[in-house]
Structure 1
Amino acid sequence: MRITNNTMIYNFLSSLNKSLEKANKIQGQLADGRALHSPSDDPIKVVRSLRFSTSLELNKQYAQNAQDALSWMTTSDDHMQDLSAIMISIKEQVTQASNGTNPESAVQTIGDAVDNLINQMINIGNSQLGGRYIFAGQNDKSTPFIRNGDTITYNGDNQKISMPIHPGIANSSQDSVNRTGEDVFGPDLKILKDLIDIKNHLKSGTKEDQEWLSKTGLANIEDGHTKMLQSHTELGTRMSMYEMAKGMLEDNYTIIAGDQAENDSIDIAMGIIDYKNAENVYKTALQVGARIMPMSLVDFLR
């Protein structure tokens, strides 16, 4: 096989360029500490890095959902505690009014106080978070509770708001974060309607009314408060689940980020050794090339 001068020059320059390219690549990796700059660097590691990035983004979104859900539920929890306190206050006042020793005027005064407490409950029911009504179901842009005299209407719906914290389709029974008007005040707002009825008996204040209050009225308050506490307990259980999930998501983020950093980063010590080797190879190639390259016209002109 005949080796021409051009063939030797081409092979030498090709090898020299590859050595220089390798040294340049390692130098770039050492400069930013990243082993991966293009898919060709390490296809397997690049695919793995993309998977880590996707997992990090999903984890970040689920963590944000968990945080938003906890903000929503914490606000709901605070307001439900206020509602519970009002129910206790109403029970105490009705108990005082129904002991059979109060004049009608005193009972009627208690009726005014209870009426004000009902208005407070409606105001709490219309509480908002970020411009959204927290007890209105998914119809959270409209004022849910409107009182007109003794008539209270609910403009929300009974649909759950879902904030998923796991892969898959959102499930309202697993991912719901809100309490609807029905959850808080019972089907068809029974708790509020019972309180309106109690208020009317107080405003009448007769002995018959007081007797009704001591039996039916107090029983209705107790039943309504029990149902309200059950709904509050369900909310607390869901809050605990989301708090635990948030902690797990934060831990997962740290683990995934660490795995990605380990996958993408270069071993500095090994990189320095590889760079020095590539540099030595390049220098040696220059020296060898100077000796084996054929003499040119310039050499004869010297």
Structure 2
Amino acid sequence: MSIRVSSNQMVYGYQKQLNDANTRQTKLLEQGDGSKLHRPSDNSVDYSKYLRYTVSENENVQYQDNVSTALSWMKTSDAALVNMTSIQTTFKEKTVAAANSTNNASDMAAIAKEMMAEIQELVSLGNTMQGDSYVFGGQKDLTKPFIMSTKEVERGLAKTLEENQAAFFSGDGAVDGSGSMKQMLTLTGDDGNTYYLNTKNGKIYTQEFVEEGYKDKIASESRTQVKDGDEIGTISGFDPAQSGTAKVADYFTNTGQLTTAGEGFSTGITVDGKTVTLKFATIKQQIVTYHGDDKGISMVKKNGTTEPVADTVNVTGPEIFGTDIFDDSASGNKASGSAMLNQMLTVRAQVESSNHKWLSKDGQTVADAAHSTTVNTETKLGARQQLYQSVQTMLDNQNEIITADITKVSSTDVAKLAVQLMQEQTIYNMSLSLGGRILPQSLADYL
């Protein structure tokens, strides 16, 4: 019994096999671009891995861009801070030189002029830009952060405590959050004497006690801190720790400028049986105002949980120039962002007025504090910069690993591809040759 095979069936089978061979060859030719994955059906497992690796690569590239931008921002900031600390070092030296009582009025005027030039340079450095952004302006990076007034104003005069003084008086109502007291407000009496006000509890001390007398208490009574009775009087209700009581903000702006209420302030105390009227001591000087904010700019450097502090790449005015008695946490004012600049302007004003005594004590302490504040900020920024440099190295290594994974899962094996192409081409050519000889004879026999 013979089995008849129709010509249509034979032709269809031949065409299908020929088309399959052609399809295989075409797919192999697609890999000539270097990739063996063009669609999920090529290899579903490898394609799934390829997609995951590609997402990781895109994330890595974004983090690398963030880190690169962050490092550029921090290098610009660091360069400005280095120049600032250098200027402040010179400013300290000039303060020491100005404290020498042998300087005449002409000498002091020359030093004051040099100091003003240095402060103006600090303000200029505070307005350093990266592209079109001010690096020290916080998140208000499009607003010029530091502006010096052209006119002089009446600014309160702070008594900046030396290290030993601060240690002694810090036990007296220190509520500024740091556990220490660094400054007092200077008062002038109608008896011609100077007094100091602890703004944290309203206690008033004589100049002699704050500057020298406290040492006798330490020596004679073997105590390390001030106690009740050392004061000569108290301003009633002056206790920032309690709501509804007087604060520095009631009499001064956050830059230290005396307000109308401050101008009208006076209080009486009894000294040696006599009533003395006290008012706030002031000095006429220019002031610098800060128009940025204290918010950080974050540039995320790796996936995972958000770390706003660790990812912050900028430093702000309050960090560079600290706070003083007029804008610390106990003052009732918000941070000015220019405290140390205004303190340096006070030093400069004292130089101009040839106040050698003030310069020999408070002036040098202020200059030291200004320099120390900026150096601390520079150190913190340097630590963050090193962290980002370490992350940059890590991201570079990760990128190499991810790229290798992508290559392994998606790239064509050229040698293997060449062999497969030759095989498929040979099969295809053989099919064409065989079909050319067999199909016509089969059809003829059938017919």
TM-score w.r.t. the length of structure 2 is: 0.63
The 8 Å contact of residues 7 and 443 in structure 2, kept in 1 or not, is answered as no
Corresponding residue number in structure 2 for 1:66: 67
Corresponding residue number in structure 1 for 2:270: none
Q: Which has the higher contact order (CA 8 A, sep 6+)?
A: 1
Is structure 2 residue 350 aligned with structure 1 residue 201?
yes
Q: How far apart in 2 are the matches of 1:126 and 1:170? A: 29
Q: How far apart in 2 are the matches of 1:102 and 1:35? A: 84
Identity across aligned pairs (percent)? 30
After superposition, where does 1:107-256 map in structure 2 within 5 Å? 107-148=108-149, 149=151, 150-168=286-304, 170-187=306-323, 188=336, 189-205=338-354, 209-256=355-402
Q: How far apart in 2 are the matches of 1:43 and 1:65? A: 33
The 8 Å contact of residues 184 and 231 in structure 1, kept in 2 or not, is answered as yes
Structure 2: state its 5+ residue gaps: 152-285, 324-335
The 8 Å contact of residues 11 and 439 in structure 2, kept in 1 or not, is answered as no
- Kindly report the root-mean-square deviation, in angstroms, between the aligned alpha carbons of the 2 structures: 2.1
Corresponding residue number in structure 2 for 1:27: 29
| Greater displacement, 46-55 / 61-70 | 46-55
Corresponding residue number in structure 2 for 1:97: 98
Deviation of 1:299 after TM superposition, in Å, equals: 9.0
Deviation of 1:168 after TM superposition, in Å, equals: 4.2
Q: How far apart in 2 are the matches of 1:298 and 1:210? A: 127
Corresponding residue number in structure 1 for 2:253: none
Q: SS at the partner of 1:175? A: coil
Q: How far apart in 1 are the matches of 2:11 and 2:307? A: 70
Kindly provide the CA deviation profile for residues 227-254 of structure 1, in whole angstroms up to 9, marking residues without a partner as x.
Answer: 2111100000011111111122122222
Deviation of 1:193 after TM superposition, in Å, equals: 1.6
Deviation of 1:81 after TM superposition, in Å, equals: 0.7
Kindly provide the CA deviation profile for residues 23-62 of structure 1, in whole angstroms up to 9, marking residues without a partner as x.
Answer: 2221332x32221222221122222222222222211111
Kindly provide the CA deviation profile for residues 212-241 of structure 1, in whole angstroms up to 9, marking residues without a partner as x.
Answer: 111111011112211211110000001111
Corresponding residue number in structure 1 for 2:47: 46
Q: SS at the partner of 2:41? A: coil
Deviation of 1:186 after TM superposition, in Å, equals: 0.8
The 8 Å contact of residues 163 and 170 in structure 1, kept in 2 or not, is answered as no
Structure 1: state its 5+ residue gaps: none
- What count of residue pairs does the alignment treat as equivalent? 296
The 8 Å contact of residues 25 and 421 in structure 2, kept in 1 or not, is answered as yes
